[in-house]
Amino acid sequence: MDIKTAHFKKAIFAPVSLAANTLFAASDAINDIARYVHYFKVANLEFKPRADDIFIVTYPRSGTTWLQMILYQLATDGSMEIDHIAQKVPWFERLIDYRIWNAKDFEAMDSPRLFKSHLSAKDMPKGDCKYIYMVRNGYDVAVSYFEFYCSHLGFKGDFDDFFKKFIDGDVQFGSWFAHAADWKAMSKTSDSIKSSQILFLKFEDMKNDFDCQLDKIINFAGFKIPADRLPEIRNRCSFKFMKQHEDKFDHITSQIWEKGYKRSSFIREGKSGQGKRRFNLEQETNFQSLLKKFHIEEL
C-alpha cells in the first residue's frame, strides 16, 4: 500500500469507526428503553397479581434455586418427573423480557403461582400477593457470582477484575448492596406493600437451622403440610439431592426451557423429498413462482 492510500484509509477509518460506535451505543440505548417499556407494560399494567402468588426474590447466587425447590415441594406433591424447576417456578421478568410469555400465559397458571425473580424492590410488581426475599452474605455472593461469570458467561478476568465490577454494580443485576438494602427497607416500611406480605430470610439461617426456616415459610405461605411429608421434603431440598439432580436446576437447561427449545431436534430426519408434503396448494404456487422468477426451477 502506498503512503497516500494509507493516509486516506486512516483519515476515513477514524470517523467511520466513531460513527459505527455511536450508532451501536444509540441502538443499545433504544433497545434498553424498548425492553423496559415492554416489561413495564406486561408486569405493571397487564399482569394481575393474586393473593396467593408467591414471588421468590433474591440477588443472583443467594440460594434462589434452593428456595424454588422448597416452595415447589411445599406447594405440590413435589414430583421429580419434571424437566426443570423453571417449568414449575418460572423466572417472572425473564419470560417477559424474552417476550416468551404475555399476561395470558401468566393468567393460565394454576394457583398458587410461584415465581422466581431478581427484580429490585422498585421494579417488582406490587399487589396483594406474597414475597419471600432471601439475602446471603455478600462475600459469599461475590465469590459464587465470580465463579458463575467464569463458568457460564465467558468472563476471562481474575477475581480482582470481577470484584471491581461487583463493587461498582457493573454486573448483570446491578449493585448487591442496593438490592439487599432496598428489599430490607421494603420489608420494614413501605407505601406499596404491607410488611406482613414479605418474609425476609437469610441463606445462612437456612444452612444453620433448615427446619426452623422451613416452618417460617410454611406459616407465611399458609400451606398445610402433613408431618409425614416433611422428611421427604427435607431430603429433596438437601444440597446432596439437588446436586445429584443438577440438570433439573441448572442455568443452561432453564434457558432451553425458557426459550422453548426442543432437545434432540437439530439433527432432525435427514430425508430427501419430504419437504413438499408440508406445503399446501397456495404455498406451493407461491414457491413455484419464486423459483421461476429466480430462474432456478432446475438446480
Q: Should residue 144 be labelled a site residue for ligand A3P when binding is judged by CB under 6 A?
A: yes
- By the rule CB under 6 A, 237 interacts with ligand A3P: yes
Selection from 42, 82, 77, 193 nearest residue 128 by Cα? 193
Identify which of residues 238 and 255 has a Cβ nearer to ligand A3P in the complex. 238
Q: Look-up: residue for cell 420489608?
A: 187
Instruction: Compute the least distance from the CB of residue 268 to ligand A3P, in Å.
Output: 34
**Cross-strand bridge partners of residue 199:** 132
Rank residues 63 and 90 by Cβ distance to ligand A3P and give the closer one.
63
Distance CA 75, CA 83 (A): 18
Among 42, 54, 56, 58, interactor with ligand A3P by CB under 6 A: 58
Residue 187 in the binding site for ligand A3P (CB under 6 A): no
Task: Note whether 60 binds ligand A3P by CB under 6 A.
Answer: yes
Is 61 near ligand A3P (CB under 6 A)?
Answer: yes
Beta carbon of residue 216, minimum distance to ligand A3P (angstroms, whole number): 17
- Catalytic-labelled residue, pool 118, 152, 179, 245: 118
Active site residue 118: yes
- Residue (58 or 127) nearer to ligand A3P, CB: 58
Under 8 Å CB-to-CB from 174, ≥6 apart: which residues?
120
142 binds ligand A3P (CB under 6 A): no
Work out how close the CB of 194 gets to ligand A3P at its nearest, in angstroms, rounded to a whole number: 26
Q: Which is nearer to ligand A3P, 42 or 65 (CB)?
A: 65
Residue 73 found at the interface with ligand A3P (CB under 6 A): no
Binding mask 85-124 for ligand A3P (x = CB under 6 A): ----------------------------------------
When asked if residue 63 is in the footprint of ligand A3P (CB under 6 A), the reply is yes
Question: Which listed residue (43, 53, 54, 62) binds ligand A3P by CB under 6 A?
Answer: 62
**Phi-psi region at 202: left, alpha or beta (left = phi > 0; alpha = psi -120 to 50):** beta
Could you give the residue numbers annotated as active site? Answer: 118
Summarize as ranges the residues that interact with ligand A3P (CB under 6 A): 58, 60-66, 140, 144, 147, 237-239, 242
